[in-house]
Amino acid sequence: MAEAVKNDKKELFESMPIPRALATLAVPTIISQMISVIYNMVDTFYIGRAGNPLMLAATSVSLTVMLLNISFSNLFGIGGGSLMARLLGQQKTEEAKNVCAFSVYGAAAIALLYSLLIGIFLHPVLRFLGASDDTIGFASQYTLYVVVFGCLFSTLSMTLAFLLRNTGYSAKASIGLSGGGILNMVLDPLFMFVILPRGMEVTGAAVATLISNVCSCLYLLFAVKKASATAPLSLKPSDAKKISRDNTRKLFAVGVPSAILTGLFDVSNMVMNRLAAVHGDLVLAGIGIVMKIDRIPNGVNVGLSQGMLPLVAYNFASGDHERMRKAISFTRLCGVVTSCVCILLLEIFAKPVTNLFLSTSSGDSAAALATVAFAATFLRIRCVASPFAFLNYSSSYCMQAMGNGGGTMIHAIARQVIFYIPFMYILDKIFGANGLAAALPAAELLGALVAIILVRVTMKKALSALQKKKEQGTELREEN
The reported pLDDT for the residue numbered 438 is 94
Give the pLDDT score at 109: 95
The pLDDT score that the predictor gives to residue 1 is 42
**Mean pLDDT confidence for 361-387:** 85
Q: Confidence class of residue 2 from pLDDT cuts 50, 70 and 90?
A: very low
The proportion of the chain whose per-residue pLDDT surpasses 70, expressed as a percent, equals: 90
Higher-confidence residue of 453 and 475: namely 453
Q: What is the pLDDT of residues 303-343, one digit of tens each?
A: 899 889 888 888 888 878 888 889 999 999 999 999 999 99
CA distance 32 to 19: 19
Each residue of 389-407: pLDDT tens digit? 999 999 988 988 888 888 8
Between residues 477 and 387, which one has the greater pLDDT?
A: 387
What ranges do the domains of the chain cover?
2-470
Confidence label for 361 from pLDDT (cuts 50, 70 and 90): low
Asked if residue 170 has pLDDT above 90, the reply is no
Other C-beta atoms closer than 10 Å to the C-beta of 332 total: 21
Q: What are 106-139's pLDDT values in tens digits?
A: 999 999 999 999 999 988 988 887 777 877 888 8
